[in-house]
Amino acid sequence: MAEFMRDPMLDFTGNVVLITGAASGFGALAAEELGRRGARLVLGDINAAGLGLVVDKLTAQGIEVQTMACDVSSETDCAAMVALARENFGRLDIAINNAGIAPPMQYFEEVDEETLDLQHRVNVKGVFFGMKHQLKVMRSQGSGVILNVSSMAGLGGAPKVAAYAAAKHSVVGLTRTAAVEYARHNVRVNAICPFYTLTPMVTDIQAPEGATVDQVHAQLASGCPMKRLGKPEEVVSAMLMLCSPALTYVTGQTLAVDGGVSAF
Active site residue ranges: 164
Distance CA 132, CA 225 (A): 37
What dihedral do alpha carbons 120, 158, 216, 26 form, nearest 10°? Answer: -50
* Closest C-alpha to 217, from 227, 26, 104, 159: 227
Handedness of CA 247, 249, 253, 256 (dihedral sign): negative
Question: What is the CB-side half-sphere exposure of residue 201 using CA atoms within 13 A?
Answer: 22
Residue 218 CA: distances (Å) to CA of 204, 211, 229, 258 = 14, 11, 8, 15
Distance CA 33, CA 244 (A): 12
Segments of 128-235 assigned E as strands: 144-149, 187-194
Distance CA 182, CA 36 (A): 29
